[in-house]
Structure 1
């Protein structure tokens, strides 16, 4: 499992961390009464008392779909006397897309693709047999998805020794991520995909989720096979569970963000029992 998004990250592939640092500069008090979305150019802007809201970097807060705009409006309407960005994950992702990704789509795309070189699901335990079986049950279908749907055939290794993946497999993943990063909604789609990739440590899990092959819960479980095995052996750690729940909240928000961009008719999964 890679570092979570609650800590500052040095890699451009973790744009959510960059946006969170910017949010420390945000106004703490609620300064508006009316919140609504209104068409602006090719997108939909958040309007606060009739004025277009700004991102931390002073760009207009404009998103590409009305479903996403309405969901962000709901977050702003729900604020009390203070603006709590911790309770506004869709807004944070929109900030990430606009301030952190729009100007460097290619760089973020490349950073996401790098995960295909050391993807979580390709590194398997040699023992015990129960862990080997759990990994196979969770990860083999993901590799099958990559092979059949993305034409990307990966190889696995035991332990942590690096295994070089076939160039064709890496190229296929690069093509799919480039496709996601090449559309009109590229910064927003990449904000979601990057978040899911970083949180799971796997571009293959993220692509299986966005491709409809995995549910949110099955994707999250696949990313935590080893952690769950250890918890069954030694019991759960309260602090680790709390950190995992925070990461899941980011994961659920990223999936919801993706659905509101691509499939607004699908109801996101929002309940989670660790």
Structure 2
């Protein structure tokens, strides 16, 4: 799509039952979601972040270059309609969380996984009262129902906007624990990427990296960074 506006700015959204908010305006006209729903931001900082994405577009609009806009649209168009399904899908990651399945060899990888992953599992156990069991190998191991229930309660407690980010970053990391640690400030985006890519990074160190792998990892890195920034701006 060609750029159809001269500039993007943030304005006050019309008062509603949900209270005051902010809207992104293109040449003075408020943007809407892809499903034509109003986009009202409760955070001025997040609205400014989305406006900056629109302002940075060139002659053609590149939706992939607007991750904050994409997450906001998901929060408005998708999450309310499919909240139960999303909570189920995100919570299910805890049943087979990446951090719980450790390599048996080589020792270098075993040590690296334990050094990076175990502190995150310890944090989740203390922070959420949700201790998860660790095993060697890839065969699924059952987790305690109490721990799974505690983590599900956390997921259910997020508002639609934060849940949109949690859904994206959990899928990107393959781990609910890494995603929660990222959104709650236990780790930053670079640490989340490192934790979620330990096995891949180890293989790259041994055998090298092809262009497709490089591209895929960069997209994951961008997704993780965008989700952390989205939540930071949402809470600002």
d(CA) in 1 for partners of 2:108, 2:132: 23
Contact 2:3 2:57 in 1 (8 A): yes
Residue 76 (str. 1) matches residue 54 (str. 2): yes
Question: Could you say which residue in structure 1 is the equivalent of 2:88?
Answer: 110
d(CA) in 1 for partners of 2:227, 2:131: 26
> Alignment partner of 2:186: what SS?
coil
> Alignment partner of 2:89: what SS?
helix
Higher mean alpha-carbon deviation, 31-40 vs 88-97, is at 31-40
Question: Could you say which residue in structure 1 is the equivalent of 2:218?
Answer: 245
> Alignment partner of 1:170: what SS?
helix
> Alignment partner of 1:62: what SS?
coil
d(CA) in 1 for partners of 2:205, 2:28: 53
Q: Map of 1:148-163 to 2, 5 A cutoff? A: 148-163=126-141
d(CA) in 1 for partners of 2:200, 2:58: 37
> Alignment partner of 1:101: what SS?
coil
Q: Deviations over 1:185-236 (max 9, x none)?
A: x221011111110000000001111122112111110001100111111112
Q: Offset of 1:61 from its aligned partner?
A: 2.2
d(CA) in 2 for partners of 1:199, 1:64: 26
Q: Map of 1:217-236 to 2, 5 A cutoff? A: 217-236=190-209
The total of aligned residue pairs comes to: 231
d(CA) in 2 for partners of 1:117, 1:254: 23
Q: Deviations over 1:242-272 (max 9, x none)?
A: 111012111111110011112x3xxxxxxxx
Question: Could you say which residue in structure 1 is the equivalent of 2:110?
Answer: 132
Contact 2:192 2:224 in 1 (8 A): no
Question: Could you say which residue in structure 1 is the equivalent of 2:4?
Answer: 31
Q: Map of 1:79-228 to 2, 5 A cutoff? A: 79-180=57-158, 186-228=159-201
26, 34, 58: which one aligns with 1:48: 26
> Alignment partner of 2:78: what SS?
helix
Q: Offset of 1:101 from its aligned partner?
A: 1.0
d(CA) in 1 for partners of 2:31, 2:69: 11
Question: What is the RMSD computed on CA atoms of the aligned residues?
Answer: 1.2
**Structure 1: where are the runs of 5+ without partners?**
1-27, 181-185, 265-274
TM-score by length of 1: 0.81
Higher mean alpha-carbon deviation, 37-46 vs 251-260, is at 37-46
* Greater per-residue helix proportion: 2
Q: Deviations over 1:68-117 (max 9, x none)?
A: 00011111111122111121111111111111112222221221111111
Q: Offset of 1:52 from its aligned partner?
A: 1.6
Residue 67 (str. 1) matches residue 20 (str. 2): no
Question: Could you say which residue in structure 2 is the equivalent of 1:254?
Answer: 227
> Alignment partner of 1:195: what SS?
helix
Q: Offset of 1:62 from its aligned partner?
A: 2.0
d(CA) in 1 for partners of 2:160, 2:149: 21
d(CA) in 2 for partners of 1:179, 1:187: 9
